[in-house]
Structure 1
Amino acid sequence: MTGVAVCSGSVSSIKSLWETRIKKTKQDLQKQQEQRAGVGRVRHNWEDRIILAKLKEKVVTEEGRVILRIEKEEWKTLPRALVHFPQLMEWQLHRVGLQTIPRFVSSFENLLVLDLSRNAITEIPKEIGKLTRLRELLVSYNRVQSVPEELGCCENLEKLELAMNRDLDELPSEISNLKKLCHLDLSMNQFTEIPESVVSLPALEWLDMGGNRLQSLPHDIHRMENLHTMWLQRNELEFLPDNICYMRSLDTLVLSNNKLHDIPSMMEDMNNLRFVNFRDNPLTYEVELPAAPKKSEDEEEDDREMFGRDFMRVYCQEARKRSNYTSELNVTLEAVAESAPLLLVCYVELFALLTVCFLLLPV
């Protein structure tokens, strides 16, 4: 019988050797992972440093204000590294392709001006409401579809521009909480009426809603007591409420390219109006203005624009004259209608008398 000699310690030695190798392999893998993580951290740190350096180049100080200014570069999103500049008071980012306003915008408590015009922003985050010192929010020429109710918490906001956002057609009622808002641009959107929240703004002085789809103006529009400029061109207005005559602060009113058929006669007495424009409306009456004196070449534009106001006054006078004539004609016709039965009786009696006389004639 042939036997095989096996060393009693060989199996345990081999097992120990493999365990040692496995342990060493795990340690090597762990070191490699740590090295990769370290490289990743270093790379991330370097990327942060590069971004911070790039952002630092965009930060300027003008008249005591720290401003982030970026124009005509590609910044679809803003890096969180921006929070390393908490002293920023203005953001001016134009034509950079920005798609979102970062939610960490609420970290910038000193922000006074947020100018993000001409980008691709689709949403204003609700965190905007935490910027209680904000004075100007400029988001015109973007793709904003709605405005968050939290914007009403920006108690110091004075200027709001949302022009040319195409699909924007309403504002939250909380906008009426902006007691200091004096400038509002909602032009070239899809509004069909002036929102009640806008009519309720106590300090509003300048309003542009041109290029919308307004079909009428609110009857209580005279509540806008401090409004001095109102742009309503290129809408679908067919008439004006009589109460517009009581807007005593209004000095500029643009109503060109609408569907107006008439002008309220009381507007003739709006002596506060410095400039008004009714051009390109299907008004009922055609009026001729007195020949204007020859203008000098150096005459100011404001003086030449008085033509619109003169037209309004002449039109109102003509409308009142025709209205009075129509009223007098109606009164005459009513008088004739009322006397018709009496005339009929007289005709009958006269006919009877003539008949009797005819019968009494000798044959």
Structure 2
Amino acid sequence: MGHKVVVFDISVVRALWETRVKKHKAWQKKEAERLEKSALEKIKEEWEFVAECRRKGVPQAEYCKNGFVDTSTRLLERIERNSVARQSARVKDRGKRSNPFVFELSGTQWKELPDSLKEQTHLKEWHIHNTLIQIIPTYIELFHSMKILDLPKNQITCLPPEIGRLKNLKELNVSFNHLKSIPPELGDCENLERLDCSGNLDLMELPFELSNLKQVTFVDISANKFSSVPICVLRMCRLQWLDISSNDLTDLPQDIDRLEELQGFLLYKNKLTYLPQAMLNLKKLTLLVVSGDDLVELPTALCDASTPLKFVSLLDNPDCWILFHTQGHASYQDMKTKYEKMKV
């Protein structure tokens, strides 16, 4: 039996390999173009990123690490956010500065008022918070148009007598400072409506001259060392809200009913043992808050639903809460909200 001889057409084999070579070269060319295009896109992206960073003033060290452009940090997004925040802050600042009658100052870097302030006697409001300022200068008497002195949380140790020259003053807030006394000249501020001396800790009395303040509706002298309700306060005939909590009161004056307009009376964290019968004569009193631990006596008529009281709270004594739910009476939350609004 003879051997079979396989005969190939060399032209067919050559055509097959040529086709394969062409396809491979075409693939290589396509891949090279893809890589080139990808590299160009990346280079383009990086240069656009660099150009944008430079345009916005970003230092090269922020986006170039070991010679390579780092776009993964999303610097521009962060820059945009920071820019928006700064712009918003600037808008707010411009809004504040747009009122030429308002002066604002805050920050512990301030130990005294700027010298330029004495030239701005047209100002109507000072808002000075959280500074290390200890002294209010005597030139404050030059600010005849002043209506609001908002000076909480500073280091003020005294108020100048010249403050009595501010005849248009309506609000004085010197809470959480280091005052030990209030100048009697403040009684000359006949248009004063709100007085907040809370949180001075060592304040023990208010001068009798403050009896002249007949327009006052709000007084907060809490967190001090008052042993009695100041006489001048009893003569503020329009007083509606009085906070004398966190002091050293042992009793209330028998003529407390002089405060005929009083609506809110906060007495908690004192040393009261009883409430006088005169409390029943406060016909407009709707909110009364006292501490319950030391109280052994209070007028039983306070529990009468016919009284104007809408809420009586005996704090620090869970067994002595009295809440009036008579028809038409407001809830404690309503009264608290109203009180907080008065404090703002």
Give the structure-2-normalised TM-score.
0.64
Contact 1:139-1:163 at 8 Å conserved across structures:
yes
Equivalent position to 1:215, from 227, 250, 259: 250
Query: CA-atom RMSD, angstroms?
Result: 2.8
Distance 1:266 1:84 in 2: 58
1:251 aligns with 2:282: no
Contact 1:199-1:224 at 8 Å conserved across structures:
yes
Q: Give the secondary structure class of the aligned counterpart of 1:137.
A: strand
Contact 1:101-1:124 at 8 Å conserved across structures:
yes
Question: Judging changes above 3 Å, is the alpha-carbon distance between structure 1 residues 66 and 152 closer, same or farther for their aligned structure 2 residues?
Answer: same
Q: Offset at 1:81?
A: 2.4
Render the CA deviation track for 1:193-226: whole Å, top value 9, x for unaligned.
0011111110100100010010000011111000
Q: Offset at 1:288?
A: 10
Structure 1 equivalent of residue 333 of structure 2: 302
Question: Judging changes above 3 Å, is the alpha-carbon distance between structure 1 residues 91 and 205 closer, same or farther for their aligned structure 2 residues?
Answer: same
- 1:1-363 to 2 correspondence within 5 Å? 60=96, 66-269=101-304, 271-281=307-317, 302=333
Distance 1:229 1:288 in 2: 17
Q: Give the secondary structure class of the aligned counterpart of 1:169.
A: coil
Q: Give the secondary structure class of the aligned counterpart of 1:184.
A: strand
Distance 1:191 1:159 in 2: 19
- Structure 2 residue identity aligned to 1:121: I
Distance 2:331 2:187 in 1: 40
5+ long unaligned stretches in structure 2:
1-92, 337-344
Question: Judging changes above 3 Å, is the alpha-carbon distance between structure 1 residues 84 and 60 closer, same or farther for their aligned structure 2 residues?
Answer: farther
Question: Judging changes above 3 Å, is the alpha-carbon distance between structure 1 residues 289 and 273 closer, same or farther for their aligned structure 2 residues?
Answer: closer
How many residues were matched structurally? 238
Q: Offset at 1:98?
A: 1.0
Distance 1:223 1:73 in 2: 43
- Structure 2 residue identity aligned to 1:164: G
Question: Judging changes above 3 Å, is the alpha-carbon distance between structure 1 residues 135 and 289 closer, same or farther for their aligned structure 2 residues?
Answer: closer
Q: Offset at 1:304?
A: 11
Q: Offset at 1:303?
A: 7.5
Q: Offset at 1:280?
A: 2.6
Contact 1:72-1:94 at 8 Å conserved across structures:
yes
Q: Offset at 1:66?
A: 1.4
Q: Give the secondary structure class of the aligned counterpart of 2:102.
A: strand
Question: Judging changes above 3 Å, is the alpha-carbon distance between structure 1 residues 304 and 219 closer, same or farther for their aligned structure 2 residues?
Answer: closer
Q: Offset at 1:250?
A: 0.3
- Structure 2 residue identity aligned to 1:302: Q
Distance 1:100 1:219 in 2: 38
Give the structure-1-normalised TM-score.
0.61
Distance 1:275 1:151 in 2: 34
Q: Which runs of 4+ in 1 moved over 3 A?
A: 57-62, 286-290, 299-305
Distance 1:288 1:100 in 2: 44
